[in-house]
Amino acid sequence: MTKKKNEWFDWLKALVIAAILAFIVRTFIFAPIVVDGPSMQPNLHNGDHMLVNKINYKINEPKRFDIVVFHATEQKDYIKRVIGLPGETVHIKDDILYVNGEPLAEPFLEEQKEILKEGQKYTQDFSLEELPGDYKVVPEDHILVLGDNRNNSTDSRSFRIGFVSYDQLVGKASMVYWPLNRFDFVQGEKE
């Protein structure tokens, strides 16, 4: 009888420890998120299940082209790509991204831009001055984010979102784990 009691106690202990570890990992290290909508296509798809690294931005600042998750509202988190960093000027003209006046390639969009018909734009022209608040540069401790599906994305160009403060960041998207045929680690593109 004692042996059976010890066995049950060991199982109970193991389950409690597993639950505590799962709580710690979920709360402080990684969190799941599901991509909702087409704003990050073609790179992320509606329904993709992802893991978000919640520690990365506690010890590092966001980098250009990171894919980040942030609190857009109290009820909703968004997933977008970092385009502008604090202190930078950003504008898009004729489908070319300019940061501090220098053109930057966006390799994650090249395939989509190639299939456009003559005269079509993948991203409508815009500049920081056109955003609410008449900013000349991205404010300190803030980032400018855009969806990869530029003409179907609620992002920093929207009055509701604007610049994203570091305090709003949940973390950096690290991998797609479902569906299995889309399993992949998410990398920010190199400048």
Q: Which residue has the tokens 């998410």?
A: 186
Smallest Cα–Cα separation from 71: which of 175, 167, 147? 167
Q: Give the number of other CB atoms < 10 A from CB of residue 150.
A: 21
Q: Where are the beta strands (DSSP E) in the chain?
A: 30-34, 49-53, 67-71, 77-84, 90-93, 96-99, 102-104, 126-127, 142-146, 164-165, 169-178, 184-185
Q: Which one of the listed residues 4, 5, 13, 39 is annotated catalytic?
A: 39
136 in active site: no
Q: Which one of the listed residues 80, 153, 156, 172 is annotated catalytic?
A: 80
User: Which tokens belong to 61?
Assistant: 């600042």
Tell the burial category of 11 from Cβ atoms under 10 Å away from its Cβ (0-12, 13-18, 19+). exposed
80 in active site: yes
105 contact partners, CB below 8 Å, separation of at least 6? none
Catalytic residue set: 39, 80
